[in-house]
């Protein structure tokens, strides 16, 4: 095994900031990213940091999971292979603002709780371990050793390991995730909820059943070759800006792009590529050729109607649309699907989608005429009650036309967190398959619990009714990211102990259990020195590519531990000497962890060598690689028959979806501007169609309460400004996490248990001032 020689750090003296050639300055996106960097990090650190972002010798962007171009595809990485929002994510982590004991001595927890998420996040990086003692009013310093003893003591005192809950957010590296799940399973529980439960769980559930792998089947090269790309329920201009570059290439190669969205998202409508001079000076590329302004939650109806039309046209001209050979040899259930879609109810389809029949026919014609179709989607599809059937319906279309495992075609769920997919591969899941558990037992000689654990929503329920007593979070911001904010806060507060491994202060720290710990950790950008030398970690992107990420910046404080070190030291304390897992060696040398990943995780053989290749390696994906569906129950691609479902909204109510602004990363708020949607200096807004405002008797700009109506009662989020906006009729939008208080805990997707964050029935109540 070869240990890599640490690559020399980039010489800061040779870097220049703001030179047009380096960053194609002159457009707002680049200007904003530089300004935010300089504000948080200073000029030299900004130059140096952005220079290393997404380069082979540098670190993986802690923003989204969109892949970087690969050498094997004959592509060079651009000098600036990052986007405005990636630069903001980095600035947020590499900030020079720090907070330590003085800060916490000056601010009681009760006071901190009164600040916004924006304010909390802006205070700076956490620099030392902190404890809030039972009955205490302030966080105070604690040594690492005492912190681990405290956690281990509380865990050992539980009546059952299942009373502990171990959450993960998707920034955690593969190495940290692997040792973390090993600790949790050695302790005796599968309570491993993660952010993915609220994110792409519906995609995983639908795709596992349909194609046998819960991951997307396309590569960047496929996107470049597609002739039709359908982007459904996704706002890439804000959340995956580097995807726009790929769409632009595809378009240059002749692809057509369709956006299906209740909102006319600016990034899709017109895109100026900062990497190209033409993008800076010209008008930019209008990306979307077609925009289907669908009603929130209408996608199942839309794709069933498309399926119906394709089948009818196939009947009229047999062989023109359906790939019969593929369907016959590789799939099951086609006939049942075709039978179910023989007749559809057009008026119902128009009600559900808000689209005219002619618009649906137009879209279906584009799909019928395409030889290489890719479907991309994100939260607009996954966070609905009927999310799983909706995604399964898209898979039906792809299977019927043989659009899987063929160049330029396939299914592309676009992941969120930069390593959310890798964390799953490493075993962060409350219901990992038996085979994985067997390997884990075989490799380590431990006993792994087989009973499925709790996901995010079930964890909240367990804490609420006293079955969950210790809450441990590897990153993330559980209090703000989850639904039903008040009940979640009550759940966390009822715990004996809450522990957060974090880089920055957030809401979860000020919603503490009886005792609470904050364990500060290294970020992705920072150097990780251990006994055997400088370490690197690995991550997996949205297209199953696994590669190395090397932190280069000086850590925010000398008291930080890496996530791996935190897990290993806690395990050592919890299990004592002589435990079957060599925790101390793992902390000293991450290669030793990777050797075990190679032995346990499918597709990861020879891991240490392959992650040292310039672009790493791609995990196997049978449908993508060989058009086989070995992972499904039948070994075939499975058509799914679903009943039509869509949200029904009573008179005078709107269907509210919660979205991200252009200036946030989930619960981390970078600023108060949502440039593409024309919002500046504020976040408490609700976007409503002008005619709905008139019908409701509410003036543009009026301040209203949002009241969500659910079978167990009402929830209220006060004081939002109504903004007249061209969203689909009957729909509304507000920002996550401000609107999370409105999402009922029991409003979840069938099968995936994902909170329904995109379809909340609300009424707007004007605030009457006396």
Ligand X SMILES: Nc1nc2c(c(=O)[nH]1)N[C@H]1C(S)=C(S)[C@@H](COP(=O)(O)OP(=O)(O)OC[C@H]3O[C@@H](n4cnc5c(=O)[nH]c(N)nc54)[C@H](O)[C@@H]3O)O[C@H]1N2
CB 267 within 8 A of CB 659: no
Q: Does 659 bind ligand X (CB under 6 A)?
A: yes
Q: Does 261 bind ligand X (CB under 6 A)?
A: yes
Tokens of 201: 């769980």
CB 632 within 8 A of CB 738: no
Place of tokens 């006293």: 466
Residue 573 interaction partner, one of Mo ion, ligand X, none, beta carbon < 5-8 Å per kind: none
Which residues 687-746 are close enough to bind ligand X by CB under 6 A? 736, 739-740, 743
**Contact letters (x/-) for ligand X, 288-327, by CB under 6 A?**
------x-xx-x----------------------------
Q: Which residues pair with 165 in a beta bridge?
A: 471
The CA distance from 610 to 615, in Å, is: 9
Q: Does 262 bind ligand X (CB under 6 A)?
A: yes
HSE of 428, CA atoms in CB hemisphere, 13 A: 31
By beta-carbon proximity to Mo ion, the closer residue of 185 and 215 is 215
Give me the least distance between CB of 200 and ligand X, in Å please. Answer: 7
Q: Which of 55, 521, 535, 708 binds ligand X (CB under 6 A)?
A: 521
Find, among 758, 704, 765, 750, the residue nearest to 728 by Cα: 758
Q: Which of 301, 501, 568, 717 binds ligand X (CB under 6 A)?
A: 501
DSSP string computed for 324-359? HHHHHHHEE-HHHHHHHTSS--HHHHHHHH---HHH
Residue 421 interaction partner, one of Mo ion, ligand X, none, beta carbon < 5-8 Å per kind: none
Give me the least distance between CB of 336 and ligand X, in Å please. Answer: 26
Give me the least distance between CB of 295 and Mo ion, in Å please. Answer: 23
The CA distance from 415 to 66, in Å, is: 7
Find, among 641, 618, 759, 752, the residue nearest to 395 by Cα: 641
Q: Which of 380, 413, 622, 637 binds ligand X (CB under 6 A)?
A: 380
Q: Does 502 bind ligand X (CB under 6 A)?
A: yes
Helix (H, G, I), strand (E, B) or coil at 526: strand
| Segment lying near ligand X (by CB under 6 A), choices 43-51, 136-144, 208-216, 656-664 | 656-664
Find, among 172, 152, 221, the residue nearest to 62 by Cα: 172
Q: Does 55 bind ligand X (CB under 6 A)?
A: no
With 0-12 / 13-18 / 19 or more C-beta atoms within 10 angstroms meaning exposed / middle / buried, residue 113 is middle
Q: Which of 158, 192, 195, 732 binds ligand X (CB under 6 A)?
A: 195
| Segment lying near ligand X (by CB under 6 A), choices 42-50, 282-290, 554-562, 660-668 | 660-668
Q: Does 462 bind ligand X (CB under 6 A)?
A: no
Q: Which of 34, 47, 64, 567 binds ligand X (CB under 6 A)?
A: 64
Helix (H) / strand (E) containing 686: strand 685-688
CB 165 within 8 A of CB 454: yes
The CA distance from 684 to 265, in Å, is: 19
**Contact letters (x/-) for ligand X, 132-171, by CB under 6 A?**
-------------------------------------xxx
Question: Residue 159: which residues within 8 A CB-CB, separation 6 or more?
Answer: none
Place of tokens 């457009």: 27
Rg of the chain in Å (alpha carbons):
25
Binding site for Mo ion (CB under 5 A): 199, 416
Helix (H) / strand (E) containing 669: strand 668-669
**Contact letters (x/-) for ligand X, 551-580, by CB under 6 A?**
------------x-----------------
By beta-carbon proximity to Mo ion, the closer residue of 199 and 211 is 199
Q: Which of 206, 395, 757, 764 binds ligand X (CB under 6 A)?
A: 757
The CA distance from 246 to 78, in Å, is: 13
Residue 64 interaction partner, one of Mo ion, ligand X, none, beta carbon < 5-8 Å per kind: ligand X
* Binding site residues, ligand X, CB under 6 A: 63-64, 85, 169-171, 195, 198-199, 232-235, 238-240, 260-263, 265, 294, 296-297, 299, 378-380, 383, 416-417, 474-478, 481, 501-504, 506, 521, 523-524, 563, 657-660, 664-668, 736, 739-740, 743, 757-758
């Amino acid at each position: 095994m070869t240990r890599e020689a640490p690559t020399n750090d980039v010489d800061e003296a040779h870097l220049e900031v703001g030179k047009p050639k380096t960053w194609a300055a002159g457009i707002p996106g680049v200007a904003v990213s530089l300004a935010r960097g300089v504000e948080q990090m200073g000029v030299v650190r900004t130059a140096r940091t952005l220079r290393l972002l997404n380069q082979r010798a540098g670190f993986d962007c802690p923003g989204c999971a969109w892949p970087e171009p690969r050498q094997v595809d004959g592509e060079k990485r651009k000098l600036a292979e990052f986007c405005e929002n990636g630069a903001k994510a980095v600035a947020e982590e590499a900030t020079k603002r720090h907070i330590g004991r003085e800060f916490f001595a000056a601010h009681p927890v009760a006071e901190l709780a009164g600040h916004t998420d924006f304010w909390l996040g802006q205070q700076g990086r956490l620099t030392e371990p902190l404890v809030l003692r039972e009955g205490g009013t302030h966080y105070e310093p604690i040594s690492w050793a005492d912190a681990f003893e405290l956690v281990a003591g509380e865990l050992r005192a539980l009546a059952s390991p299942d009373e502990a809950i171990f959450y993960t957010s998707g920034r955690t590296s593969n190495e940290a995730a692997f040792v973390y799940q090993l600790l949790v399973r050695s302790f005796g529980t599968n309570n491993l909820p993660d952010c993915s439960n609220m994110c792409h769980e519906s995609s995983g559930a639908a795709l596992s059943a349909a194609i046998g792998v819960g991951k997307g089947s396309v590569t960047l090269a496929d996107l470049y070759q597609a002739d039709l790309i359908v982007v459904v329920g996704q706002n890439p201009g804000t959340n995956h800006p580097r995807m726009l570059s790929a769409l632009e290439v595809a378009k240059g190669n002749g692809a057509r792009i369709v956006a299906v969205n209740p909102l006319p998202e600016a990034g899709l409508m017109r895109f100026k590529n900062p990497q190209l001079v033409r993008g800076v000076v010209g008008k930019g590329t209008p990306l979307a050729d077609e925009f289907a302004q669908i009603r929130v939650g209408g996608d199942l109806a839309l794709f069933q109607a498309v399926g119906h039309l394709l089948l009818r046209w196939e009947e009229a001209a047999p062989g023109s649309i359906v790939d019969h050979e593929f369907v016959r040899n590789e799939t099951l259930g086609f006939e049942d699907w075709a039978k179910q879609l023989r007749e559809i109810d057009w008026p119902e389809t128009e009600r559900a989608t808000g689209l005219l029949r002619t618009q649906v026919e137009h879209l279906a014609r584009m799909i019928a005429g395409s030889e290489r179709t890719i479907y991309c989607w994100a939260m607009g599809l996954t966070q609905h009650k009927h999310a799983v059937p909706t995604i399964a319906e898209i898979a039906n279309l792809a299977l019927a036309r043989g659009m899987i495992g063929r160049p330029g075609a396939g299914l592309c769920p676009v992941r969120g967190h930069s390593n959310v997919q890798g964390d799953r591969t490493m075993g962060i899941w409350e219901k990992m398959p038996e085979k994985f558990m067997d390997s884990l037992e075989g490799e380590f000689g431990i006993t792994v619990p087989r009973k499925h654990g709790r996901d995010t929503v079930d964890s909240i329920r367990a804490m609420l009714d006293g079955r969950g007593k210790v809450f441990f979070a590897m990153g993330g911001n559980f209090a703000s990211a989850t639904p039903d904010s008040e009940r979640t806060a009550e759940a966390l507060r009822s715990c004996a102990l809450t522990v957060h491994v974090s880089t920055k202060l957030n809401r979860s720290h000020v919603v503490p259990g009886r005792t609470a710990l904050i364990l500060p950790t290294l970020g992705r950008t920072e150097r990780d020195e251990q006994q055997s030398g400088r370490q690197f970690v690995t991550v997996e992107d949205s297209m199953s590519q696994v590669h190395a990420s090397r932190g280069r910046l000086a850590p925010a404080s000398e008291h930080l531990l890496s996530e791996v070190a935190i897990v290993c030291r806690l395990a050592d304390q919890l299990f004592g000497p002589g435990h079957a897992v060599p925790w101390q060696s793992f902390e000293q040398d991450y290669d030793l962890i990777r050797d075990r990943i190679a032995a346990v995780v499918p597709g990861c053989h020879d891991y240490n060598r392959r992650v040292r290749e310039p672009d790493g390696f791609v995990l196997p994906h049978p449908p993508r690689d060989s058009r086989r569906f070995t992972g499904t129950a039948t070994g075939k691609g499975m058509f799914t028959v679903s009943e039509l479902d869509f949200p029904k909204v009573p008179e005078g109510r709107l269907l509210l979806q919660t979205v991200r602004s252009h200036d946030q990363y989930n619960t981390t708020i970078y600023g108060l501007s949502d440039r593409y949607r024309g919002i500046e200096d504020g976040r408490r807004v609700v976007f409503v169609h002008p005619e709905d405002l008139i019908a409701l008797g509410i003036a543009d700009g009026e301040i209203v309460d949002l009241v969500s109506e659910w079978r167990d009662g009402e929830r209220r989020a006060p004081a939002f400004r109504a903004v007249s906006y061209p969203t689909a009729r009957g729909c509304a939008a507000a920002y996550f996490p401000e609107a999370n208080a409105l999402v009922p805990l029991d409003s979840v997707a069938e099968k995936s248990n994902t909170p329904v964050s995109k379809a909340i029935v609300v009424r707007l109540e004007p605030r009457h001032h006396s």
